[in-house]
Amino acid sequence: MPKTTKAKKKVAKSKTKVVSKPKKAAAKAPIKISKTYIPKDNEKYMCEKHKVFFRIKLNEWKKELVKANNEALYNGSMDDNSISADIVDQASSYTDKNVEMKAINRQIKLISEIDKALMRIRDETYGYCLDTAEPIGLKRLMARPVAKYTIAAQEKHEKDEKVHADD
């Protein structure tokens, strides 16, 4: 190969700029917490540990509810085959099924509330009142992980609901 060709290649290489790709933001390693971890007041409110703790708590609660609903629906469908000739037994069975279905419906609504709470964790609004944007508080969230309002805002909502229900 003639020297001019090698020289041209070297010049061509030196003229080409090497543009490095912009570095992606370092992906945060997922935070792991022990199974015995409990959020503390001395930690920053709704830090990553708190979010992980409540995400795990909500997901476990949801799994339990789904499992219980599936079992109740399965067991309820098994009872449909036993039709009694006695009208009192039929009425009792109907009442039992009605109570069971109301409980299942309440649990379905609760699962929906859990899903909304998980969505709030994702969009980083979990733990803050939807009305006032004030922190709801760890004690309240521990007692009711799907809480959307501070106690004062919740009381106001319930009072407003009662007023409108009376109309």
Residue 113's contacts (CB-CB under 8 Å, 6 or more residues apart) are 146
* Sequential pLDDT tens for the chain (167 residues): 455 555 444 444 444 444 444 444 445 667 888 888 999 999 999 999 999 999 999 999 999 999 999 888 777 665 554 566 788 888 888 888 898 889 999 999 999 999 999 999 999 999 999 999 999 999 999 999 999 999 999 999 999 888 776 65
User: Phi first, then psi: what are they for 24, rounded to 5°?
Assistant: -75, 150
In angstroms, the CA 160 to CA 165 distance is: 8
Q: Which helix (H) or strand (E) holds 161?
A: helix 151-166
Domain ranges of the chain: 37-79+92-149
Fold designation for 37-79+92-149? Four Helix Bundle (Hemerythrin (Met), subunit A) (1.20.120)
Residue 71's contacts (CB-CB under 8 Å, 6 or more residues apart) are none
